[in-house]
Structure 1
């Protein structure tokens, strides 16, 4: 069976988490900035798209070569066996990017790659006229870095963060892939309680529930490569049946989210219902400082306001002080708070056990980690 060189792209800072997921699928991989590189067959393409929680998309590497002139770019692109990937009627738009390369005009690079692929396909399919492009979509990217060309085909379509459950959202929703990465960084286990006191549209609690029951995050959506002639229906059926078998729908969960905005609670409930998790997550309208629990050894993971807008800073700083006081009462719990505020630890009143730099979109943030004690080994449920 044909194997492909695959790239799972990621946000900066969470490559190691995506690599861990690739290895859990059974593939050896290498990690570079913003990407995880591995080999896999057609089933690997389907499984990667269904299972990778923290990656942005999965791409097939079609060609890699150095090029400093447009002639080199054209000839080496044309030399690739594009007919092995693209059928005669393929729709193949070309996107591009260029960094620190002599061929810096992205639009020119795109046009040349497009022309080279078209010429190759016309030869391969014995066509004299222009290609119609009425068939399946193959999104091609030409990326130049330091005069090295990377040609890829996107197997995903809309990014992997598009799980298919978000029917509503707030002003600045957390990306589902980042939310999943945050849950994984807490090392939370499904037998422990979990709470997000600034839950917004419910993304963090929903991603925690998907992880807690081992539900493939891409289970309820489609992917662009499902329409490709050589990605047989049986491959996707096999991958989805495997995902169904691995899901642990009987795993009890104690996950709850809260927010001061009652409209966001309604949206959270709708999103959880859309994800098939409506009965598993409890949402409640309340202030973060009103957090109270009789449970031990839980995890609080949250993405509170950062105070970046003028006028919000003092309100947010008071909020950080107040939650610092409120959380002191529950010393068996672990707390994980994502914010861009440089004085967070001082305001919260405690130095973090550990900090991890992450990017929430284009905002540079830190995940402040306050580790509580480990639960007793004989404690099956808390």
Structure 2
């Protein structure tokens, strides 16, 4: 059976996920915060296992317009819920409503839930309450400008939870956001890669996973494994194929530096968990002390943003140091993520390109400086 599917991601990363899906052979349609594609049960397992930049994979159960609660109830009830939910299904309903007549999210959730309960009760000839003692089938009802979309989440805990981060620093980047930053660069595994403010090591680890072609969800479990209509053999096969696709004999030149030795120790533990510690040189190194005779490298940095006024001076000093050290590296490309709009002035050079992203709710810019290839 073919399902209508969506991959969701952080705002600003839609094109990254689209590119990933296209590379996997899917026809896509890109919308705000999501990319649509179609697929069967194997595709659900493949995309959950392989997508690096997405948050989750959802099945679209139905879409329609609704401007009254009666209309919402009847149209939800008309959907083929019995194809998805067994009698004992636990089906929590999350809701959101944006710029719509039905703006009360609690009411939207309650009415959606009631309609599904009524449908299931009719189909299974059940009186009284549904048991809800079985596997979880997490549902969402989303209304945007009166257009309703009902989805079933196949993923469970977000795809950024790769399972390797044993320990994290103060403000770690989510793993899928870090992967997206690497995918936004012109880095190839035969080129040097450097993260000067590596913290818990997430960016170099994601680069190493890409360099080795290790699927980010290779060790993960997903919500769909508990569903009575899902053959768990499918995921076993997909993850087995992913293990066979790992490139073991490739030399990677990946460096993670941080001024704090404690963070270097944390990063090493995480890289060990991810199985890529031998691919990354982690070392205690201040930004200003970086020297290299390597060429055509890529720098990806997520420096501190300086939320408090007392931090701003030290952060801007760091940006000036980055400029002093990186500007002479003309054949290196640099990608620096910050919410500080004064960054270019402190760095001392105008970016080739700026890209607006959202790290959680925080608007950040990716300042891109493209290097000139040395050969």
TM-score by length of 2: 0.98
Distance 2:328 2:235 in 1: 49
Distance 2:349 2:100 in 1: 47
What SS does the corresponding residue of 1:272 show, helix, strand or coil?
helix
Number of aligned residue pairs: give it: 375
Q: Deviations over 1:216-243 (max 9, x none)?
A: 1111111111111111012112211221
Offset, 1:266: 1.0
Distance 1:121 1:328 in 2: 64
Q: Which residue of 2 aligns with 1:153?
A: 152
What SS does the corresponding residue of 1:311 show, helix, strand or coil?
helix
Distance 2:309 2:347 in 1: 21
Q: Deviations over 1:305-337 (max 9, x none)?
A: 122212011111111111211123433222111
Tell me whether 1:333 sits opposite 2:327 in the alignment: no
Task: Answer with 194-203 or 349-358: which moved more.
Answer: 349-358
Q: Which residue of 2 aligns with 1:83?
A: 82
What SS does the corresponding residue of 1:164 show, helix, strand or coil?
coil
Q: Which residue of 1 aligns with 2:58?
A: 59
Distance 1:201 1:84 in 2: 43
Tell me whether 1:251 sits opposite 2:247 in the alignment: no
Distance 2:191 2:319 in 1: 25
Tell me whether 1:179 sits opposite 2:178 in the alignment: yes
Matches within 5 A, 1:45-124: 45-124=44-123
Q: Which residue of 2 aligns with 1:282?
A: 281
Distance 1:138 1:336 in 2: 40
Offset, 1:38: 0.8
Distance 1:222 1:231 in 2: 13
Offset, 1:374: 2.2
Q: Which residue of 2 aligns with 1:9?
A: 8
What SS does the corresponding residue of 1:120 show, helix, strand or coil?
helix
Distance 1:54 1:34 in 2: 12
Tell me whether 1:305 sits opposite 2:304 in the alignment: yes
Distance 1:206 1:24 in 2: 22
Offset, 1:93: 0.4
Q: Which residue of 1 aligns with 2:360?
A: 361
Matches within 5 A, 1:199-210: 199-210=198-209
Q: Which residue of 1 aligns with 2:295?
A: 296
Distance 1:34 1:375 in 2: 37
What SS does the corresponding residue of 1:307 show, helix, strand or coil?
coil
Q: Which residue of 2 aligns with 1:380?
A: none
Distance 2:237 2:245 in 1: 12
Q: Deviations over 1:90-133 (max 9, x none)?
A: 11000000111111111111111111111111121221231111
Q: Which residue of 1 aligns with 2:136?
A: 137
Matches within 5 A, 1:216-231: 216-231=215-230
What SS does the corresponding residue of 1:96 show, helix, strand or coil?
strand
Runs of at least 5 residues in structure 2 that lack an aligned partner in the other structure: none
Distance 1:110 1:291 in 2: 54
Q: Deviations over 1:161-186 (max 9, x none)?
A: 11111111111111111111110111
Offset, 1:375: 5.0
Task: Give the RMSD, CA atoms, in angstroms.
Answer: 1.1
